[in-house]
Structure formats: structure tokens, C-alpha cells
Amino acid sequence: MPRDEVRRRLLAAAAQSFAERGYEDSKLEDIAHTAGFTKGAVYSNFAGKAELFGAVLGAGADTEFSLVMDEIRDAEHFAEAVGVASRTVARRIVGDAGRGQLALEFAARAARDEGTREILTPLRRLQRAAASRSIGRVAEHTGAELVAAPDVAALILHCLCNGLSNERIADPEAIDAAAVEQALTTVLTALVVRPAETDTETPRNP
């Protein structure tokens, strides 16, 4: 079996196990068995459970990022891209609370465990870098002028999405899709210089 297929099946089984049982209670033997392999297949592809956990989170983030980019690829105006992206991300945050819980669990472990942090840090940096490049491309394509550099805008957006996901976990009744979408739209819109702020004021006739 091709190595890529082995890895794909392990990631799918791990995602299911972590979502159902959490990190601590998930066993590599069970994950391997669900995927149709022995435990050795896990160690042939990942250094251990922490790296496998990080790979699951990374794969989920990559899927979401690709979905958002596909949705906004043809947007002619920045406001249009903001609206589409906000709705897409809001649906993910509300509809896939399990992934938010996994991300929160991994971040909490990283705060206490250096090995976990060594896996999480480059993952987060890659995510922010990808977001930065995409924000820059969308701004250039739509002719929008950002009030902050793309990397700063990406950091703001990254933190906002994580925060909204955490709030959704804590208070799902109040933090619904509409609330998440409104928060994202408000912040993303504020990242763009409005035309009135850049146009030279026309002198008034006396």
C-alpha cells in the first residue's frame, strides 16, 4: 500500500479517536487497529501520539483554509471576500466544535509540555504565514488597502478565530453562527482603509 494512503488512513482513524475520546484517552494501538494496521505503522509515519495529534489538527486547518480560498477566489471586491470568508469560517466553528476542542486541548498541553510546544509552534507559524500570503493576494486582487501589514492582519484573524472557537465551546447558546459571522465581518472590514480616509478632501467653494 502506498505510504500516502497509509498516512491518510491513520490520520482519519486518529481524527475519529481524538474527537471521541480526547488526547489522553486515545491509544495508538486502537488508532492503528481502526486504520487496519499495527502500531508499528504509526511509528513509521509519526514520532508519537503528540506528532500524530498535531498532524490531525494541521490537516483539518489545511482543509478549512483550502475551502475558504476556493470560496473567495473569484471575489472582485474585498467586502465580498470578507462576507464569504466570514460565513464559511462561522459554519466551521459552529458545525465542528470537536476540532475546536482538540485545538484547545493541544494548546493547553503545549503550555505545560515542551515536546508538545515544539510540534504546535511550527504548525501555528505555517498557518499564520499561509493566511498572510492569502490576505495579501486578496487585497492585491481586489485593490484594497490594508491598515496593517498582511502578517499582522493574519495574526489578528488567527487569534480571533481561536478565540471565537473557545467562546463557542464555553457558551454555544449565545455564540451562534450569526454572532461568529458578525464578529469576523466586523474585524475583517476594519482591516481595510475606507476610500474616504484616503481621498484628498476637495476644497469647498466659499
Per-residue pLDDT for 159 more than 70?
yes
The verdict on 141 and 102 lying in the same domain is yes
Residues 60 and 25 in one domain: no
Q: Is the pLDDT of residue 206 over 60?
A: no
User: Which residue pairs, CB below 8 angstroms and at least 24 apart, start in 141-148?
Assistant: 141/75, 142/75, 142/76, 142/77, 142/78, 142/80, 142/81, 143/78, 144/78, 144/192, 144/193, 145/192, 145/193, 145/198, 146/191, 146/192, 146/193, 147/190, 147/191, 147/192, 147/193, 148/191
**138 plus 37 within the same structural domain:** no
pLDDT band at 201 (very low <50, low <70, confident <90, very high): very low
- CATH number for 58: 1.10.357.10
Shared domain for 95 and 174, answered yes or no, is yes
Question: What does pTM read for this prediction?
Answer: 0.81
Structural domain of residue 26, as residue ranges? 1-46
Question: In the prediction, which pLDDT does 194 show?
Answer: 60
The answer, yes or no, to whether residue 109 has pLDDT greater than 80, is yes
Q: What is the pLDDT of residues 23-81, one digit of tens each?
A: 889 999 999 999 999 999 999 999 999 999 999 998 988 888 888 888 888 889 999 99
Claim to verify: residue 75 and residue 152 sit in the same structural domain: yes
- Return the pLDDT at 202: 47
Mean pLDDT score across all residues of the chain: 90
Q: Are residues 90 and 129 in the same domain?
A: yes
Provide the pLDDT for residue 136.
92
C-alpha cell at 55: 498532524
Q: What is the mean pLDDT of residues 146-172?
A: 95
Indicate if 112 and 37 belong to the same structural domain: no
